[in-house]
A and B are shown apart, each in its own frame.
Chain A
Amino acid sequence: MAPLKEHIATKTQQRSASDLWGPAPYAVIVVDRTGTVRDLNPAATSLLGGAAPGAALSDAAPSWLARAHEETTNSADRPAGDTPVTAPSPPVFRGRIGARSFEAHPAPAPDGDGGVVWWLVDDTDRRLVEEELATERERTAFLAEASNVLLASLNTDRCMHVTAQLASQYLAEAALVIVPAAGRKLPMTYAVEGGAAVRRTVTADTALVPGLSEALQGFPPVPSRWIDPASLPDWLIPEGFTGTVGSASVTPLPGHGVPAGVLVLLRGTASTEFSENEEVFARLFAARAGAALSAARLYAEQSDITRTLMRDLLPPRLDRVNGVEFAGGYQPAAARDRVGGDFYDVHPGSTPDEASLAVLGDVCGKGLDAAVLTGKIRNTLQALTPMAGDHEGMLRLLNGALLNSHHTRFATLVLASVRREENRVRLRLTSAGHPAPLVIRNDGRVEEIDTRGTLVGALPHIEARTVETELLPGETCLLYTDGVTEARGGPLGDELFGEERLMRAMAECAGMPGAAVVERVQMLASQWLHDGRHDDMALVAITAPPTTHLSAVNGHTRGRYTQ
C-alpha cells in the first residue's frame, strides 16, 4: 500500500490547484498565511471576477473575507497552551460577494504551512427564505395579536382605537380609522407610532380624498389606493405626526355587508414606500379590523334595539308618591337577563288625595316571552287605573283581555290602592291567585293580609276579595312573588326559603325604611339560594313614612333630599 500512497501524494503536489479543486461543488480559494492567493478553482475565479493566483486576498476578494482570513491565521498562530481542550467547531464567516451572500468555511491548507483553504458556499437562497420566514413569523404574530385584541371587544370605539394603534405600530408611522358617519360629522380615530389613540370628529369633505368617500359609502371594496401626499387635506394629518408625508394609502375596511370604515396609513419621507408585499399585508390586517369593527357596530345596533324595546319592560324605579314611600326590587331568573315574568308598577293618584295603585304580578313562564306578556298586562292595567276603586272589576276586565289574546299564559297578581290619610296610609289589597301581602307592624308582628282570588287569564269567571288595612308611621306592607318563597337552597342545599322564613326575616325588619326591607329580603333569599338557580323574584314595599320625618317634611311634597 505504501507505494500507492506515495504516488498519490506526489501527484497531488504536482497538480495545479484548478485541477485539484476544479470538480468541487463550491468556490475554493487557497490562501497562504501572508494573505496571498495561491490557488482558485474555476468557480472561485468567476465569482471573484477573474482573480488570479499571486494576488493579495484583500485586493481579490471583499474585505470581510480578507478580515476572516486574518482572524483565522492569527488564531492558528496562537500557542498550543491557549487552545481549549475540546476543539471548537470551526468558525463560519458570512458576507456578500456581488449581489449574493456567502458562507466562508476555512480549512487548513494541505501545504501544512499555515495556509487556509476557503470554501465559499452560496447561501443567498437560504438567507432569503430565512428572512422571509422571519418576516412571515413576525406578521403572523402581529395578525394573531391583532385578532386577539380586536376580537376581545365589541365596543366600536375600542375597535377603532386598537386598529389605529396597531396599524401605526406595525404598518406605518401614523394611522387613521374613519368610520361612516350618521350625520355630517366624521368620527375618526388616529394614532402615531403605536402611541395612545385619539378620537376626533371632523366636519370634512370626504370627496377630496381619492377612494375615501367610495369606501365609506360601501361601494365594492377597491384595493388600497395610493394618493399623492401633497393632495392630503390637513385634517388627515394627525397631531403628533412630525415631518412631511412621504407616502399615503387608503385601505377600505371590509365589513359584513356594511361598510366598516377606512384605514388611512401615512409614512414620512424618511421611510420607504409601501412594497407590494406590505400592501397585501395591510389588506390582511384591514380584513380583520373590518370584521371586528362591523361586528362591534352590529352588536351596538342590536343592543340599541334591545334597549329601546326593553325600556318599557324593565321594572320602574320607585320612589315616594303622594306622601307614601314605595320601594321595589327585581331579580330575573337568569343573571344575563334583565327582564322576566315578574313585574311591578306604581301608578300615582292624580291628586294627593286620590289613591295610587301599586301592582305586582307574575306571569307563568320566564325570560323574554314572559316579559312581553308582562308588558301587555302592565299596559292594560295602566289603562284601567281610573277603575282602581273596584279591584275585582279591574281584574275581570284584565281576565277578559287576556283570554281574548293569543297568549296561552296566565298570571297572578296583587293590587294595592294606597292613600295617605294624615300620617297613616290606607291600603286596599286584592290578590288574584297571588301570595298574600305581608304587613310588618311596628311591634315586630308580621301580618298576612287575608285576600284571596282567582288567577287571571285561565278561567272565564274570576272572583276576588279585597281587604282593607292601615299602616301606622314606620310600618311596611310587602308585596312579593313566589320566586322569593320558592327559592331553593339553604345550608342543606334543597330546602325552600318558604313563607315562614320570610315572615321571620321580616319580623327583624320592623321600622326599617321600605328600601331596606326590600334589600334585606332580596339579600336573604339570594344567600339562601347560594348561586343556585331560581325563578324571577320581585318585591314592592309600601311604607308609611315615620313621623319624625313628617314633622320636618310636608307630607304632601317631596323633601328636598328625596328627589
Chain B
Amino acid sequence: MSTDTLAAPDVRGLQDQLWTAVTSRDEHAAAAVLFTALDAGIDPETALLDVIAPVQARVGTEWAANRLSVAQEHAASAIAERVIAALAHHPAVRTTPRLGRVTVACVDQEWHVLPARLLAEVLTLRGWQVDFLGAQVPTPHLIGHLHNNGADVVALSSSIPTRLPTAHAAVTACQAVGVPVLAGGAAFGPDGRYALRLGADAWAPDARSAARRLADGIPVPVPAVGRQQIDDLPHLSDQEYTLVVRSRPQLVREVMAQMETRFPPAAAYTEQQREHTAQDIAHIVEYLGVALYMDDDELFTGFLTWTAGILEARRVPAASLLPVLDVLGTELKDFPRTTRLLGEARSALDLLAAAVGNNPGASDDRSALPALHPGS
C-alpha cells in the first residue's frame, strides 16, 4: 500500500528522534526530523502514521504513568499539530482531490484532535476532498456544515467514552440529513462495539483502515421516519441514565459528606485535595452515567480499574474508591441497572485489590494528582 522502502528499525529510529524533540519541546527539531525523512523519500503516510502517531500514543501512556507532566503532554501535542500542519506544505505531500468529499470532525467537547487530524491528512493524501472541522465541534455546526457544503461521509472522532451520548446525537443527526457516519477513536471501544450500538454506518480502528473503509464506499443511510436515539438503545426508557446524570452534583455532595466517616484519611484532606476528590467522584458518576446510557458493564468497571491504576501510580490507595461505590449504591438503590453496574465495579476492584495486595503504607499524594480526566 505504501511506497516507502524504510525498514522497521528506520521508522523506530525516527520515532526516537521525534520523541526526544517533542519531549524537550523543540518544535524546530521535531519538524526537522520529519522534513529530513521526507526529503530522503519516506512515504508521507508513513511519516504521519508510523512516526508521528506512535510518538503521540507514547506521550499519552507516559502521562498516564506519571512520567510526563501535563505541560509536557500539551506541549508535545501542540508541537505535533504544528509539524503536521507544516508537513502539508511539503512537495511530497501535495495532492489533488479526485475521490469524494469527507468531513472529519471531533464530537463536541472532544479535545483530542490529533487522531482526527492524522486521518484528515491521510485522506487528503489518498485523494479525498477533506473538510477538517477540528476539535470539539458542536453538533449544530457539524450539521450546518453538511447542509452548506455537503459530504459523502462524516468521519467522527471521539476518544473519551463519556462523550458517547453526544456522539450518538451527532451520528443520528448526520444520518437524518442523509450522510453516513464512520466512527473512530478509543471512545467507541477496541472492537468498535459502541459505534455499532449507536447506529454508526461504519467503524474503523485506525486511519489506514478508515481510509480503506471509505474507499470501499459506505451506503447512504435511508432517513427512517422519526428515528430517535431511544430506538438504538431501548433500555433508555427506564430513565436511569437521565436521573443519574441529572443528579450528579447532589450525588457528589452526598459522597463527599460521607467520605470522611467511611475513609478516615479523607478527614485530613486540604481544600485542594478535597476538590480533586470531588472531581474524581464527579467523573465516576459521569462514567456510571455513560455505562447506563450504553447499558455496558465494561465501560464502568474498565474506567474504575483504570482509575485505580492511575491512583496507585500517584500513590493514592485504590481502596479509596470503594466507599464511593458504597455511598452511590445506597443513594441509587432503587435503580436496578445502576445497582448491577455498581456491584460489577465492586467485584472488579476487589479482584484488583487481591492481585495488587493492599498497601496501607502508601502516602496519599493526591495533591499531585490532576483531575482524573483521561486526557487532561
**A residues touching B (Cβ–Cβ < 8 Å)?**
144-145, 148-149, 152-155, 157-158, 162, 296, 299-300, 303, 335-336, 338, 490-494, 504, 508-513, 515-517, 519-520, 523-524, 526-527, 530-531, 546, 548-549, 552-553, 559-563
- Are A491 and B25 neighbours in the complex by a CB distance under 8 Å? no
Chain B: minimal CB distance from A292 (Å): 12
Of B27, B81, B222, the most chain A CB neighbours within 10 A belong to: B27
Q: Chain B residues near A158: list those with CB within 8 A.
A: 150, 177-178
A-B contact pairs, 5 of them (CB 8 A): A490-B279, A491-B252, A527-B373, A548-B24, A561-B31
When C-beta atoms are compared, the residue in chain A nearest to B253 turns out to be A492
- Are A520 and B74 neighbours in the complex by a CB distance under 8 Å? yes
When C-beta atoms are compared, the residue in chain B nearest to A511 turns out to be B71
From B26, B150, B281, contact of A548 by CB (8 A): B26
- Are A144 and B225 neighbours in the complex by a CB distance under 8 Å? yes
With A and B bound together, what is the CA distance between A318 and B109 in angstroms?
22
- Are B69 and A561 neighbours in the complex by a CB distance under 8 Å? no
With A and B bound together, what is the CA distance between A519 and B85 in angstroms?
17
Chain A: minimal CB distance from B292 (Å): 16
- Are A153 and B373 neighbours in the complex by a CB distance under 8 Å? no
- Are B144 and A508 neighbours in the complex by a CB distance under 8 Å? no
From A148, A509, A526, A560, contact of B109 by CB (8 A): A526
Given contacts A148-B225, A152-B223, A508-B70, contact A303 B148 (CB under 8 A): yes
B98 contacts the other chain (CB 8 A): no
| Residues 54 to 100 of chain B near chain A (Cβ within 8 Å) | 69-71, 74-75, 77-79, 81-83, 85-86, 89
B328 contacts the other chain (CB 8 A): no
Q: Chain B residues near A526: list those with CB within 8 A.
A: 109, 136
When C-beta atoms are compared, the residue in chain A nearest to B248 turns out to be A493
Sample of 11 more A-B contacts, CB < 8 Å, known A513-B79, A516-B71, A548-B28? A148-B225, A153-B177, A155-B147, A158-B178, A508-B370, A513-B74, A520-B74, A530-B248, A546-B25, A561-B85, A563-B86
Chain B: minimal CB distance from A430 (Å): 29
B132 contacts the other chain (CB 8 A): no
From A504, A527, A549, contact of B26 by CB (8 A): A549
Q: Chain A residues near B192: list those with CB within 8 A.
A: none
- Are B140 and A335 neighbours in the complex by a CB distance under 8 Å? yes
When C-beta atoms are compared, the residue in chain A nearest to B85 turns out to be A561
Q: Chain B residues near A553: list those with CB within 8 A.
A: 28
- Are A492 and B249 neighbours in the complex by a CB distance under 8 Å? yes
Q: Chain A residues near B249: list those with CB within 8 A.
A: 491-494
Chain A: minimal CB distance from B133 (Å): 12
- Are A335 and B376 neighbours in the complex by a CB distance under 8 Å? no
Q: Chain B residues near A144: list those with CB within 8 A.
A: 225
From B69, B89, B139, B253, contact of A508 by CB (8 A): B69
- Are A491 and B150 neighbours in the complex by a CB distance under 8 Å? no
- Are B89 and A563 neighbours in the complex by a CB distance under 8 Å? yes
**B residues touching A (Cβ–Cβ < 8 Å)?**
24-29, 31, 35, 69-71, 74-75, 77-79, 81-83, 85-86, 89, 108-109, 111, 136, 138-141, 144, 146-150, 176-178, 222-225, 248-249, 252-253, 272, 275, 278-279, 281-282, 370-371, 373, 376
Given contacts A153-B178, A513-B78, contact A336 B141 (CB under 8 A): yes
Given contacts A152-B177, A490-B278, A491-B281, contact A511 B25 (CB under 8 A): yes
With A and B bound together, what is the CA distance between A548 and B28 in angstroms?
8
Q: Chain B residues near A492: list those with CB within 8 A.
A: 249, 252-253, 278
With A and B bound together, what is the CA distance between A154 and B86 in angstroms?
35
Chain A: minimal CB distance from B171 (Å): 14
Complex A-B, nearest 4 residue pairs according to Cβ-Cβ distance, in ascending order:
A493-B249, A561-B86, A335-B138, A491-B282
B contact patch SS: helix
With A and B bound together, what is the CA distance between A387 and B161 in angstroms?
51
Q: Chain B residues near A145: list those with CB within 8 A.
A: 222
Chain A: minimal CB distance from B217 (Å): 10
- Are A520 and B70 neighbours in the complex by a CB distance under 8 Å? yes
Chain A: minimal CB distance from B57 (Å): 18
Given contacts A148-B223, A155-B148, contact A512 B281 (CB under 8 A): no
When C-beta atoms are compared, the residue in chain B nearest to A551 turns out to be B28
Q: Chain A residues near B78: list those with CB within 8 A.
A: 512-513, 515-516, 519
Q: Chain B residues near A517: list those with CB within 8 A.
A: 74
Of B25, B35, B69, B81, the most chain A CB neighbours within 10 A belong to: B25
Q: Chain B residues near A300: list those with CB within 8 A.
A: 148
Chain A: minimal CB distance from B115 (Å): 16
- Are A561 and B75 neighbours in the complex by a CB distance under 8 Å? no
- Are A512 and B75 neighbours in the complex by a CB distance under 8 Å? yes
When C-beta atoms are compared, the residue in chain A nearest to B81 turns out to be A515
- Are A561 and B150 neighbours in the complex by a CB distance under 8 Å? no
Q: Chain A residues near B81: list those with CB within 8 A.
A: 515
When C-beta atoms are compared, the residue in chain A nearest to B247 turns out to be A493
When C-beta atoms are compared, the residue in chain B nearest to A155 turns out to be B150
- Are A335 and B108 neighbours in the complex by a CB distance under 8 Å? yes
From B70, B82, B111, contact of A562 by CB (8 A): B82
- Are B147 and A153 neighbours in the complex by a CB distance under 8 Å? yes
- Are A509 and B74 neighbours in the complex by a CB distance under 8 Å? yes
- Are A510 and B71 neighbours in the complex by a CB distance under 8 Å? yes
Q: Chain A residues near B111: list those with CB within 8 A.
A: 519, 523
Q: Chain A residues near B83: list those with CB within 8 A.
A: 561
Chain A: minimal CB distance from B91 (Å): 13
With A and B bound together, what is the CA distance between A145 and B223 in angstroms?
8
When C-beta atoms are compared, the residue in chain B nearest to A504 turns out to be B272
Of B28, B29, B69, B83, the most chain A CB neighbours within 10 A belong to: B28
- Are B74 and A299 neighbours in the complex by a CB distance under 8 Å? no
With A and B bound together, what is the CA distance between A171 and B69 in angstroms?
65
With A and B bound together, what is the CA distance between A158 and B89 in angstroms?
32
Q: Chain A residues near B82: list those with CB within 8 A.
A: 515, 561-562
When C-beta atoms are compared, the residue in chain B nearest to A154 turns out to be B147
With A and B bound together, what is the CA distance between A123 and B172 in angstroms?
48
- Are B147 and A512 neighbours in the complex by a CB distance under 8 Å? no
With A and B bound together, what is the CA distance between A420 and B176 in angstroms?
52
When C-beta atoms are compared, the residue in chain A nearest to B143 turns out to be A154
Given contacts A509-B74, A511-B75, A523-B111, contact A303 B278 (CB under 8 A): no
Q: Chain B residues near A524: list those with CB within 8 A.
A: 376
With A and B bound together, what is the CA distance between A155 and B27 in angstroms?
41
With A and B bound together, what is the CA distance between A303 and B148 in angstroms?
7
